[in-house]
Chains A and B, each alone.
Chain A
Amino acid sequence: VSFVRSPIEIVYPYKHSTGPIVGRALAAFAAGRILGSRCDVCGLVGVPARDWCDHCGGATRETMACGPGGVVTAVARVHEPTDIAPDVEAWALIRVDGAGTDLVHAVRGVVEAGDRVRPVWRVERRGAITDIECFERGEASPAADVEPGAPVEVFERVISLPYTLTAGSLLSRFFDDIRDHRRLHGVRCTSCRMVIVPPLPACATCWADTEGWVEVADRGTVTTFVVVNVPFHGQEMPLPYVLARVLLDGSDTSMLHVLGDVAPGDVRMGLRVEAVWADERTGYPADDIRSFRPTGEPDIPPERFIDRL
């Protein structure tokens, strides 16, 4: 069996409101300054400034300038740079002057624990910790004489997660049979004898193994459905469209698909439908079956499928 593998990338934009203290810390970075905040309860100074104490969880309200220089607590050398930070030679924990906590940042050049370091500021700054390009060995000059602007209230970013998903042996064979023969198959539970489509190695109801390779029809009955009227992230079909659970003849599990060649108002539970196949096939039923359309046969009464919606 050759396994079907499919790349997929999940991409979403996010916003993060920063809150009052972190917002001030980000504005300070944009002005070329490092800001700390003191815990109301235990007095610990956190750098960069944060809303709650990393030691006791107490609230912080008072902020103060820290650094800009500091002492390296520990260094981790990068031997194989990643795509995310290709230029980073080493990461370090840095105790900025006046801070009670360590800051994680990149360091460049020969830097060891105990060394005095100074920040290397970028020319273009946007209110982020990456406004400091890295730290390097040496004494810092006094902080820039620039007043920080208004707090940075929102931090926006896009997160992208690339994956490759592998279909198991049964699902891969299911896809191959669709691509090569335009046939749909399921397996039978060795305990309840129900036919499961797409095929799974075990029955999720009985926990028993499944067996066989049971061909099911490319026509069936609409058990229930929804008319989608609302646009959504990643939407591919024009609105409105009918999303139906179709119980294929010979199967005991329904499959989610779209209906075509029928007005949404004419769709009913029990409607008989058949697959409309695409000319070019990839193996995926979501693509190769363009939609299901009414066959014109009489409806099936709900009591015949109500337990297999």
Chain B
Amino acid sequence: VRPVAVVGVGQTDHTSNRSDVSLAGLIREAIDRAFIDARMALVDVDAVVVGTAPDLFEGVMLPEWWLSSALGGIGKPVLRINTMGSAGGAAAVTAAMHVACGLYDRVLTVGFEKHSESQALWGLTPANPFGRTFGAGAGAAFAPICRAYRERYGAPAEIGPRVAVKARRNALRNPHAHLRIDIGVDDVLASPMLWDPIRRLESCPQSDGACAMIFASPAVANGREDVAWVRGAATVAEALFSPGRDLLRPPSLTVCADRVYAQAGIVDPERELDVAEIYEPFSWIEPLLYEGLGLCDFGQGWRMFDRGETDATSGGRLPVNPSGGVLSTNPIGASGMLRVAEAALQVRGRAGERQVDRARVALGHAVGGTLSSHACMVLAKDRP
């Protein structure tokens, strides 16, 4: 395979309701911004990879087909990727692989969600055909994991609320973020308990938004100063529920992380990464992910957080989610791509107020299902 670079990133200003544009218009806004960033035009693209949620979310059959004109996909390969919540991350990985394989020089990838008009929250738990329906959305699926994490590792109760505060404080420095609210732990504790032990402010919002990225070959990227080089890219899945599955140590997560670190030549991710953007839909999932992503040992994630090592605002050594993460912005189909896009912006030195000093190597990571599908990408300032 040949080297691949990110040459353009675009995202909308995420918010709860974008009824002023159609779904196509929302996506096109992110695409147009990515092309301005890349100093390129839609017609230059060789192929399009679309990351979308299930059709039930948008209420549109074959959205990639319906959206093909807005995507500039006429007469070009248009490929749809759906890996649940990690779809945006998996689409970015797929776009990178399209370039790496040598067949395409410029590949556009897009992820999106229009929560205000979709059924993304409940489309996840349709009626049970064999008896009563118990499911109650993503929160009900993640809450038992959060509870088990806390109990198993003896994490103090305030860790989750503090993760929620860190995310929103970081989002204050991200002009694109949805929830830009200055809150403290007391505010989190006072918010309604939705899926005990998950409170409203420990949950991701429902956002309208889109993200677009342009991946390019060395021939296109050479001579450009502000590109991010892809050093590792992988997606890994596992069965939703399998015998002996340890909910707190999903093998698909560790395998995915190990794979991208091996590709990137990273031996000690905690030391060698400068920043990470990870997919934390609920507060307690963040320390759990530190562990699965190899940033610390199992059971140590909450301690790593507690010591402030991942807090950008307090000078942490490995800032996690300086963008505010999924807890601050969650257009589901785009959320995974935003992690990768933010990682790319960091190593390009283009992250504005949320820029981490001297960021040269960054991890982008996305979750699908109940931690059962993952996409990871390592991006670096230096060419491989």
Q: Which residues of A contact B (CB under 8 A)?
A: 4, 6-10, 12-19, 22, 50-57, 59, 153-154, 157, 159, 163, 165, 167, 171, 175, 189, 192, 194, 196, 203-205, 223-230, 232-237, 240, 243-245, 252-253, 256-258, 264, 269, 282, 284-288, 302, 306-309
Contacts and interface: CB of A to CB of B under 8 A. Distances in A.
Interface string B103-139: 0000000000010111101110111111111101101
Interface residues of B, number: 66
B181 interface: no
Contacts of A307: 244, 246
Given A17-B114, A306-B246, 19 more contacts: A6-B130, A10-B126, A13-B119, A15-B117, A17-B21, A50-B69, A52-B24, A153-B19, A154-B19, A192-B243, A204-B242, A205-B245, A226-B140, A229-B196, A232-B136, A234-B127, A234-B133, A302-B152, A307-B244
Contacts of A14: 58-59, 117-119
A226 B22 contact: no
A17 B235 CA distance: 33
Nearest to A225: B144
Contact of B195 (A19, A204, A227, A284): A227
Given A12-B56, A203-B242, A205-B245, A232 B137 contact: yes
B79 interface: no
A16 B143 contact: no
Interface stretch (B70-78, B80-88, B155-163, B314-322): B70-78
Contact of B69 (A16, A54, A154): A54
Interface string B269-285: 00000000000000000
B243 A285 contact: no
Contacts of A15: 116-117
B181 to A, nearest CB: 20
B188 interface: no
A14 B127 CA distance: 17
Interface string B242-268: 111111100000000000000000000
Nearest to B18: A17
Contacts of A258: 134
- In order of increasing CB-CB distance, the 9 nearest A-B pairs are A286-B131, A284-B131, A14-B59, A19-B22, A57-B72, A227-B196, A226-B143, A204-B242, A204-B239
23 contacts: A9-B127, A10-B56, A12-B59, A14-B117, A17-B114, A52-B69, A203-B242, A204-B241, A204-B242, A205-B242, A226-B139, A226-B196, A226-B198, A229-B193, A229-B196, A234-B126, A234-B133, A240-B196, A253-B243, A257-B134, A286-B133, A287-B132, A307-B244
Contact of B59 (A153, A157, A165, A225): A157
B60 to A, nearest CB: 8
Contact of B125 (A223, A232, A286): A232
B219 interface: no
Nearest to A159: B59
A229 B191 CA distance: 13
Contacts of B243: 189, 192, 194, 196, 203-205, 252-253, 308
Contacts of A204: 239, 241-243
A175 B129 CA distance: 13
A194 B244 CA distance: 8
B355 to A, nearest CB: 32
Contacts of B358: none
A291 B22 CA distance: 45
B147 A226 contact: yes
Contacts of A224: 144-145, 147-148, 151, 247
A284 B151 contact: no
Nearest to B195: A226
Contacts of A19: 21-22, 24-25
Interface in B14-42: 18-25, 28, 42
Given A264-B196, A269-B151, A55 B134 contact: no
B208 to A, nearest CB: 10
Nearest to A268: B151
Of B136, B192, B245, most buried by chain A (CB within 10 Å of CB) is B136
Contact of B129 (A55, A165, A225, A235): A165
